[in-house]
Amino acid sequence: MTDPWRAGIAGLEALGLSHLGVAVSGGGDSMALLAMARDWRDAQSGRALSAATVDHGLRAEARAEAETVAALCAQWSIPHDILTWQDRPKGNLQNAARQARRRLLSDWGRARAVPVICLAHTRDDVAETFLLRLARGSGVDGLARMAARFEVAGQPFARPLLDHARADLRDALTRRGIAWIDDPSNDDPTFDRVNMRRALSLLDEVGISADQIAATATRLSSTRHFLSTEAMRQAATLLSMDRYGTISIDRAAFLTCHAEVQARILARLFEGLSDDAYPPRRAALDRVIGLIAAGQGRETLAGYVVTVGGDSVTLLRERARLPQPHPYADGVIWDGRWRIAGALGQGAILRPTTESDLKPHALPSAQKAALLTAPALDIGTNQPILPALEPAHGVDATLVPRLHDLISR
């Protein structure tokens, strides 16, 4: 039988780095990861280890638990930071907390120059997530095993314990005399994940173990990879973008693709175009696919308007989502799409282009529609600068995202 502790350290070695970051809540899984990372650091000179704990402020005990982790890190000579979530919104608090945790950790990692932040998700987490998503009717992507490596805002993350059982990690901690904190919310039946954890124990009684579920999720990961690769291959030939940012889809070629590939092409495209943390839901993608199949209609999704007319399928930025007017600065990125460069005097205002701005120009309707989603500059004269149409006063505008970048993010 493989020693889980040695296997965990081997997983950290496999990352091939000399500096690792660890996200530590104080629970059993993350404490095991922290202790393994400490042993990894101590095994070879020149290695560095950093740790961070996110205090969501959702429980009265959270701060004290974070400080307990900080004290242990000080004992083990591990630099540690407590990251506090302060901008809690109304609505889906659990989802907001997950997104905040990723954002806080990615900001911390970049600030500390941490090459990769390790998370302590285990095989049990894979199985629980599988059941959660199965209950929600997820397809291949949702049921596939969570990624072992991913990025958030340019910060790399890793999950080196995905093949480890939670019970094995806690047994290893007990043998080493390392304590952990039990979060009472892990026994709260109002949380879906807690109920799935209980369901796992019932399934185990009829021969369906967490190991088997995790193995199925891993096989589905291979399927996901194949479908994603095929979608990227097809997207390279049937998507195009002009100099004004209008994205076109070759309708005839798109309709020859399998429905699963169609959905993936659109998901990757909208995910690249949008600032949303997750791609659009499948139901929304299916509406767009239906529109393209019908050959007529309009749909708004992820801040873009999809217009279908015959064989023409175009995506244009939704005007309602364009930035409000604000002072101009040389080199500014406007709406995440346009980089505007050129020195101007004080008082220039950057804003969306309007119909009246375009009246002096005889333009085809498609070009006009695209320019209405582009920037304009008020400089105190009768006619604003339209840098996406033509450079003026030394000011030019270029599209930042290339189409390949959008679909390969």
Interhelix angle 166-175/28-42, nearest 10 degrees? 60
27 is annotated as contributing to ligand binding: yes
Structure tokens of 398?
């270029």
CB 152 within 8 Å of CB 103: yes
- Find where tokens 């659990």 sit: 94
Residue whose C-alpha is closest to residue 377's, from 323, 303, 317: 323
29 is annotated as contributing to ligand binding: yes
CB neighbour list of residue 76: distance below 8 Å, 6 or more residues apart: 38
Question: Which amino acid appears at position 153 of this protein?
Answer: A
Strand 80-84 to 117-118 pairing? unpaired
18 is annotated as contributing to ligand binding: no
Question: Which amino acid appears at position 314 of this protein?
Answer: T
CB neighbour list of residue 307: distance below 8 Å, 6 or more residues apart: 298, 313, 314, 315, 316
Task: Tell which phi-psi region holds residue 302, choosing left (phi > 0), alpha (psi between -120 and 50) or beta.
Answer: left
CB neighbour list of residue 226: distance below 8 Å, 6 or more residues apart: none
Please work out, in degrees rounded to the nearest 5, the angle formed at the alpha carbon of residue 329 by the alpha carbons of 346 and 370: 115
Q: For residue 248, count other CB atoms closer than 10 A to its CB.
A: 15
Q: Which residues participate in the annotated binding site for ATP? A: 25-30
Q: Which residues participate in the annotated binding site? A: 25-30
